[in-house]
């Protein structure tokens, strides 16, 4: 049975809002599983997503995480059926919005030590797009629709999208997509650099898994954790600070067994056998 079959089979029968599976390759697959609601973001789905992410982050057997959706959408935005929750916003304020979108902002996944790869299988809008942008690498199915939508709903650029989108696609494209709220497709998303590649819908998950599995097999978990932290932290630094910090981190990396394992595997022309990611000590 293929990895894709193993992920797809329980999606049709399970009522869990997020499906979780660990593949033998060290890749955890999280599947948003509210296809009847186009995987719209609501309290139940958000809570399940946080639990699955925390589980994958804590499991030493997991080296890379892939996030996708079941059905014809990745995540079509906030669940409009939960709008009753924000009906009393004038009296209850932030508590109502938190109940709708969840207690964590999408940028929390940038603080994970493990890479998070999005396989965007369909419609990706609003907070769904924000969440996808906070993933480290994105792939999309051909024809998948994207939109920020906020300006067309009387809203603002929410939960960090005004920070991440210009860094991914540049200032001009970010202004266009946020101000117009227009719909665009996966093919344009690739041209803009918003997604790494576009595949036929039936090939999306196999291709995303192949990419994740190659990373899980051949990249040191310690290196992935440090590099990811560098990228996000250095976005807020100047080049001198970033370079000085990189020098310190390089010295630290050369003291870890991963360095010897990687160099030895290179000279012996074989796959490396990197150990799992160690727990951080406070």
pLDDT bracket for residue 92 (50, 70, 90): very low
Whether the per-residue pLDDT at 159 is higher than 90: the answer is no
What confidence tens digit (pLDDT) does each residue in 116-147 have?
999 999 999 999 999 999 999 999 999 999 99
Cα atoms found within 13 Å of the Cα of residue 68, Cβ hemisphere only: 29
Give the per-residue pLDDT at 247: 66
Separation between Cα atoms, residue 125 and residue 129, nearest integer Å: 5
Residue that wins the pLDDT comparison between 82 and 228: 228
- What separation in angstroms does the CA of 262 have from each of 8, 181, 231, 272, 274? 34, 46, 22, 6, 8
Give the per-residue pLDDT at 105: 85
Cβ within 8 Å of residue 92, ≥6 positions away: none
What would the mean pLDDT of 77-104 be, rounded to a whole number? 58
Q: What token pair was written down for 156?
A: 């603002």
What would the mean pLDDT of 169-178 be, rounded to a whole number? 95
Whether the per-residue pLDDT at 4 is higher than 60: the answer is no
Whether the per-residue pLDDT at 82 is higher than 70: the answer is no
Separation between Cα atoms, residue 176 and residue 165, nearest integer Å: 11
With pLDDT > 70 as the criterion, what percentage of the chain qualifies? 78
Give the per-residue pLDDT at 17: 94
Give the per-residue pLDDT at 273: 76
Whether the per-residue pLDDT at 272 is higher than 70: the answer is yes
Give the per-residue pLDDT at 28: 98
Separation between Cα atoms, residue 102 and residue 156, nearest integer Å: 18
Residue that wins the pLDDT comparison between 43 and 140: 140
pLDDT bracket for residue 88 (50, 70, 90): very low
Residue that wins the pLDDT comparison between 260 and 117: 117
Whole-model pTM: value is: 0.82
Q: What token pair was written down for 170?
A: 């540049």
Secondary structure of the chain in the HEC alphabet? CCHHHHHHHHHHHCCCCEEEEECCCCEEEEEECCHHHCCCECHHHHHHHHHHHHHHHHCCCCCEEEEEECCCEEECCECHHHHHHHCCHHHHCHHHHHHHHCCCCHHHHHHCCCCEEEEECCEEECHHHHHHHHCCEEEEECCCEEECCHHHHCCCCCCCHHHHHHHHHCHHHHHHHHHHCCCEEHHHHHHHCCCCEEECHHHHHHHHHHHHHHHHHHCCHHHHHHHHHHHHHHCCCCHHHHHHHHHHHHHHHCCCHHHHHHHHHHHCCCCCCCCCCCCCCC
Q: Which residues pair with 185 in a beta bridge?
A: 145
What would the mean pLDDT of 257-276 be, rounded to a whole number? 74
- Tell me the range of 206-215, 227-236, 270-279 where mean pLDDT is highest: 206-215
Name the residue among 45, 49, 124 with its Cα closest to residue 82. 45
Q: Are 144 and 74 in contact (CB under 8 A)?
A: yes
Could you tell me how many residues make up the chain? 282
pLDDT bracket for residue 9 (50, 70, 90): very low
Give the per-residue pLDDT at 250: 61
What confidence tens digit (pLDDT) does each residue in 178-219 have?
999 999 999 999 999 999 999 999 999 999 999 999 999 999
- What separation in angstroms does the CA of 273 have from each of 25, 43, 63, 147, 216? 13, 40, 13, 42, 10
What confidence tens digit (pLDDT) does each residue in 46-59 have?
999 999 999 999 99
């Amino acid at each position: 049975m293929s990895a894709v079959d193993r992920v797809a089979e329980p999606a049709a029968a399970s009522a869990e809002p997020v499906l979780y599976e660990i593949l033998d390759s060290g890749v955890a697959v999280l599947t948003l599983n509210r296809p009847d609601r186009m995987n719209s973001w609501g309290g139940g789905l958000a809570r399940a997503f946080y639990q699955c992410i925390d589980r994958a982050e804590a499991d030493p057997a997991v080296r890379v995480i892939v996030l996708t959706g079941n059905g014809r959408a990745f995540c079509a935005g906030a669940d409009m059926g939960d709008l009753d929750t924000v009906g009393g916003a004038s009296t209850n304020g932030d508590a109502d919005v938190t109940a709708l979108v969840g207690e964590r902002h999408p940028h929390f996944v940038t603080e994970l030590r493990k890479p998070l790869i999005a396989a965007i299988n369909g419609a990706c809008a609003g907070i769904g797009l924000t969440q996808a942008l906070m993933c480290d690498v994105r792939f999309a199915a051909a024809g998948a629709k994207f939109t920020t939508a906020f300006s067309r709903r009387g809203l603002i650029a929410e939960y960090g999208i005004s920070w991440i989108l210009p860094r991914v696609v540049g200032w001009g494209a970010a202004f266009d997509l946020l101000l117009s709220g227009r719909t665009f497709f996966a093919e344009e998303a690739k041209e803009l650099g918003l997604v790494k590649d576009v595949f036929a819908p039936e090939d999306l998950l196999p291709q995303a898994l192949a990419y994740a599995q190659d990373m899980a097999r051949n990249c040191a978990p310690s290196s992935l954790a440090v590099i990811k932290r560098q990228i996000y932290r250095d976005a807020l630094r100047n080049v001198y600070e970033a370079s000085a910090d990189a020098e310190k981190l390089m010295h630290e990396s050369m003291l870890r067994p991963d360095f010897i394992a990687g160099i030895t595997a290179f000279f012996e022309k074989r796959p490396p056998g990197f150990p799992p990611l160690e727990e951080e000590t406070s």
